Structure 1
């Protein structure tokens, strides 16, 4: 098995790394402290083609595949996790609309999204009482003479207050309609400035503070029939597929955050001296770094395997759930160890490991909590035994 990235993948990885080192990392702490949305940085990423890594070339994307996307997200998250989240989100929204929307809908939104012109896209799936159980959503869409009217409340919408384009999931059949979980749910593309959308609140978060997270209220928001993604009633399956791909992105971001913290800890342990020697030469510190390096390597390989399966159009749900679970749980351990190695200095904002620990924590929640990943994995194991 050859794990060497292709020339194109290496080019995208190198472009992301150079941008992260030159543009993102130097100002990441200031953006975090000020809660500054990285609009300029996102437009620069659009100019570099990094907002459309997985988007078909017909819409201006690179069509470079999931492996290149994973490598790019790792590098960007190493520089600034907030920017990586927004870049990942726009890639996902662009890919979804390009592959599941009508040609007219894709032509309207995708080139603008991935160029940075439309700034960003967002997903509106979770609700105050429907997080892990997306099938329990209450937002509904009713037929009108000209299309659909959407009403309801969405929670945890990253960049929901400033997104140009929202993918919104809503019930389009009565609760009594026949079918399994998620019956009658449909996905719609909604302009972010559509009349009837209200930002009810912005969350004050532990980490990723250069991104916004909004609760949105939809009050009879009007969209046309051409706003439907996929088929009417097929939104739940589309959401699950989107989450499978999103887990590769979250795993990649977690690896990037942890790698940045690991590199900082390695430098510090090589320079900091106690009892007459660099602290890396103390066995306990060396063991902590050895574990961290091993976890990062394993997480990267698992995530790239999931990305390779997705790119090859093979089943990747199990692989992405495993990668997301392992990468995020161990990225947290790496960041915690990096802070511990810094001692008291790691606990203050002068050193980047403090921000890394705050930023990485949410990766164990996004795109399905670690507990949900274990349920997905266990169910797939059971299905494998029943076949």
Structure 2
């Protein structure tokens, strides 16, 4: 834990760190992810910022680690990890790699979760989720509300009736 705090000494000190909540496997995943962030994502972030391009290479690195399916159930080809682990992965990416990638990754996780929540018995969706890491499939959510803009709760709070 001290090595992690030495790499990024900002924020909460180790005595208040949520690291104690992570399993040994999750701590090992975090250490591996930090190495990938430092060696791959950070240089890609610099390139993406300079060239104004989407951080696709960083998503390829996440897919190589099996992290695009982080919260996808194991029976659908994902890791089946908890929201705590997802929060750790997002924080690690933002802190050690690329904040833009962390934001896009959060939207991706939300898209996968929303798809599972709303369409969990859809065979086509299950087939897509099984390919998420292998084919570097990146999800996002897109809703619109003509009166106030885009809102993630739109499908739950609005409805239409054929007239």
- Measured in 1, the distance between the counterparts of 2:100 and 2:42 equals 11
User: What is aligned with 2:80?
Assistant: 63
Residues 13, 68 of structure 1: 8 Å contact kept: no
Q: Which protein, 1 or 2, shows the higher relative CO under an 8 Å CA cutoff with sep ≥ 6?
A: 2
In the alignment, is residue 7 of structure 1 matched against residue 24 of structure 2? yes
Q: 2:142 aligns with which of 113, 116, 124?
A: 124
In the alignment, is residue 90 of structure 1 matched against residue 108 of structure 2? yes
More strand by share: 1
| Cα drift, residue 76 of structure 1 | 0.6
Distance verdict in 2 for CA 1:97–1:25, change over 3 Å: same
Q: 2:43 aligns with which of 26, 36, 45?
A: 26
The alignment's TM-score, normalised by the length of structure 1, stands at: 0.33
Residues 71, 86 of structure 2: 8 Å contact kept: yes
Distance verdict in 2 for CA 1:25–1:77, change over 3 Å: same
The alignment's TM-score, normalised by the length of structure 2, stands at: 0.72
Q: 1:109 aligns with which of 116, 125, 128?
A: 128
| Cα drift, residue 93 of structure 1 | 1.9
Distance verdict in 2 for CA 1:80–1:18, change over 3 Å: same
Residues 63, 136 of structure 2: 8 Å contact kept: no
- Measured in 2, the distance between the counterparts of 1:134 and 1:65 equals 21
| Count of aligned residue pairs for this structure pair | 140
Pairs within 5 Å for 1:207-246 = none
Hey, which bits of structure 1, 4+ residues long, moved more than 6 A? 132-135
Residues 142, 150 of structure 2: 8 Å contact kept: no
Structure 1: runs of 5 or more not aligned: 138-168, 170-180, 186-387
- Measured in 2, the distance between the counterparts of 1:183 and 1:123 equals 16
Pairs within 5 Å for 1:112-191 = 112-113=131-132, 115=133, 117-127=135-145, 129-131=147-149, 169=155, 182-184=157-159
Computed over aligned residues only, the root mean square deviation of the Cα atoms, in angstroms, reads: 2.7
From the CA coordinates, give the structure whose radius of gyration is larger.
1
- Measured in 2, the distance between the counterparts of 1:123 and 1:61 equals 19
Structure 2: runs of 5 or more not aligned: 1-17
